[in-house]
Amino acid sequence: MTGQYVRVALDHPLDALYDYRYGLDSAPAPGMLVRVPFGRRDVVGLICEVNAHSDVPANKIRDVSAVCAACPPLSAQWLALAGFAADYYQRGLGEVALPALPQALRDPSRWARLLAPEERYRLSPQGRAALPDALPARAQALRRLAQALSGAGELDVAAARALHPKAIATLEAWCEAGWVEHERIEFGAAASAAHSAAPTAAVDVPRLSDEQADAVEAIGAASGFAPFLLHGVTGSGKTEVYLRALAALLERDPGAQALVLVPEINLTPQFEAAFRTRFAATLADEAIVTLHSGLAEGERARNWLAAHTGRARIVLGTRLAVLASLPRLAMLVVDEEHDPAYKQQEGLRYSARDLAVWRAKQLGVPVVLGSATPSLESWWQAEQGRYTRLTLARRAIADAVLPTVKLIDLEEERRRGRASFEGLSGPLVAAMKARLERGEQSLVFLNRRGYAPTLACDACGWVAGCPRCSAYVVLHKPERGLRCHHCGWESRIPRSCPECGNVDIAPMGRGTQRIEEALASAVPGARVLRIDADSTRRKGSAQALFSDVHAGEVDILVGTQMIAKGHDFQRVSLVGVLNADNALFSHDFRASERLFAQLMQVSGRAGRAGLAGEVLVQTRYPRHALYHALARQDYVGFANTQIAERRDAHLPPFVYQALLRAEGRTLEAALTFLAQAAEALAAIPGAERVMAYDAVPLTIVKVMNVHRAQLLVESQSRAALQATLRAWQPALRALRGVLRWNLEVDPLDI
């Protein structure tokens, strides 16, 4: 019978489709999610083909158990996207397609619940002004509920109950008080009329600069596939360009969808707020959704389904959102396109930026890549004319100018005997005190969390190391413990050196916790706030802390890369940079590019609202060319120099690379596996167009008692590299002797 058999992709390492008999009442179609038996388990699979016959013997073929009614079939275009990603990144189709879906869709026991009405609670304007100040100070659980509601904007029933056992009763009481609004949405329906009809205040739309207007016009005039590199200095109004371009798109095509990617979760709240404010009069609340790993699973599934069914018109998300299903996708935006966070480092090691460009080409729509410090790959594409470069050379606010950058020579400070405060130089401390007196804010950037990188003994040279990794453990003073940032191993701080018994053991180096402590004494009276991965572990805490900064309740903000990009701090006029020198001498050829981008981004947090901005960089190498380019705010000169060096050294973007990593119980096992892999590679016809380097251990060779090594291969032809990698896979699967291996295309960390 026609349509009796289906070929299904499963989340399985093998690049294969599995045949099943389809005997359900509904007609099968490619893109359907189905429950099928696989071994002794029932798993979720994706129908890729529908056939009249199967080559599998009838007594061995099994039946499809159920279809996911909550998820309409995925489109042929989405299947093509997943197929391209699987082929290019050398993975099975099921390994790409299934993990790209929300967990709730991959769990058949939750399918029925996805069809149930959705109930959400959100703060009303009255509640936003009253909560949580109206709650008793001792009602910590209620205050957490109010803070989570304020931070996330809204909570579903499951998220609310996870915060407080009587959350629903409390929220209903707050509804009666007018502090909270209750919304009930039937599956596939629009938001409740009561909420969507709420009056919206007039939005103050800023006037575009000539550069912004030219960029918006160019994007709007594009027809078909059109990649744009929006190179705008920090504070130049790139977000406003995105907003205007999307507004024009939605006006031209009321049913169109747009995807906006940001590199980190903590950037989504301010983007979401900006988009909701701008489109409040034209789009219902559920037409703008977010997709990232910080969402509760139910919320993420509903947002994904809103995008998949076309109800969501604008999707904001982190890298995984590039694989979301948007049937009417008409524009893509990748903000901070240079950011390494767009490259997945586990499982399917894909680049969200590169997939966004491919997806735009597939659909024939524009894609905008925005950055103050574009990746050298994107910059080279623009230099070659493959991307259209749009430049915003000035800050958007008329009286806002780029900050001045000054270098503090730490060796000169030491020679002159000038006082310092735990890594904070005298000039930096004086500058922070001056800002405190003027009521302005300062930002101190140190990309190292914890109190100190490690603990050491001066008597015998012992350094606290992780017993499971070839790495030092980090001292976390507030928790009074040592922690490995690679495997999570923890221990209490020893009272004395475990090697010689010396009680005089001391922290070595400085992290954000230590700088936070030093600032309290170096700048008396200043309100100091630390934002890093340790201070933002609880859901919603990052947004609450950033809200304190924006509200002016912080004088000095200290943190890691979490505070370095994307945030619009209106009152920050001083940025201090600590310990940037380490990246100058890295073995990674991309280290200089990353450091320059990082320093340019954090420098851009200063002077954004008309205040005179100043950046003080502490360094022992003030004559280094990178710092000179930074002082001139000269990205173009820096990029062109780096491009020339890459060309001479035959490095990306002038060659194409892949990295084979192996993990074994011993380093010898990993290196032996890679040596055998290199022999298998050399035997492949056409492999002479691919160069394989010697296998070497990773910088941190042991993690969780597993030893790691890598083998780099490269070619001047992308097609030749891809063909060789494809032919290499069967030989790699036949090799034994290691615990795991993985093949990464276009690696960023080598």
Residues placed in the known binding site for Zn(2+) = 457, 460, 466, 469, 484, 487, 497, 500
DSSP state of 11: S
Buried/exposed 381-401: b ≥16 CB within 10 Å, e otherwise: bbbeeebbebebebbbbeebb
**Alpha carbon distances (Å) from 344 to 127, 178, 349, 508:** 39, 44, 5, 32
Residue 192 and residue 528: Cα distance in Å, rounded?
A: 43
DSSP state of 375: -
Q: Give me the amino acid identity at 265.
A: I
DSSP state of 206: P
Check if the beta carbon of residue 711 is closer than 8 Å to that of residue 478.
Answer: no
DSSP state of 81: H
State whether residue 618 is helix, strand or coil.
Answer: strand
Neighbours of 143 (CB within 10 A): 16
- Reference 550, options 523, 527, 568; nearest CA is 568
Strand partners, 619: 409
Neighbours of 125 (CB within 10 A): 12
Tokens found for residue 478? 């507030």
Annotated binding site: 457, 460, 466, 469, 484, 487, 497, 500
β 118-123/154-156 pair status: antiparallel
Check if the beta carbon of residue 614 is closer than 8 Å to that of residue 434.
Answer: no
Residue 20 and residue 5: Cα distance in Å, rounded?
A: 6
Q: Give me the amino acid identity at 107.
A: D
Residue 112 and residue 116: Cα distance in Å, rounded?
A: 7
Residue 31 and residue 47: Cα distance in Å, rounded?
A: 5
Tokens found for residue 356? 């966004």
Residue 547 and residue 506: Cα distance in Å, rounded?
A: 36
Residue 545 and residue 550: Cα distance in Å, rounded?
A: 9
Q: What is the CA radius of gyration of the chain?
A: 27
Residue 662 and residue 233: Cα distance in Å, rounded?
A: 41
Residue 484 and residue 199: Cα distance in Å, rounded?
A: 51
Check if the beta carbon of residue 743 is closer than 8 Å to that of residue 721.
Answer: no
Sign (positive or negative) of CA dihedral 530, 533, 537, 542: positive
Q: Give me the amino acid identity at 235.
A: G
Check if the beta carbon of residue 527 is closer than 8 Å to that of residue 553.
Answer: yes
Determine whether 263 is exposed, middle or buried from the number of CB atoms within 10 Å of its CB (0-12, 13-18, 19+). Answer: buried
Strand partners, 659: 712, 744
Tokens found for residue 693? 């380097």
Residue 248 and residue 368: Cα distance in Å, rounded?
A: 14
Check if the beta carbon of residue 51 is closer than 8 Å to that of residue 5.
Answer: yes
β 656-664/614-619 pair status: unpaired
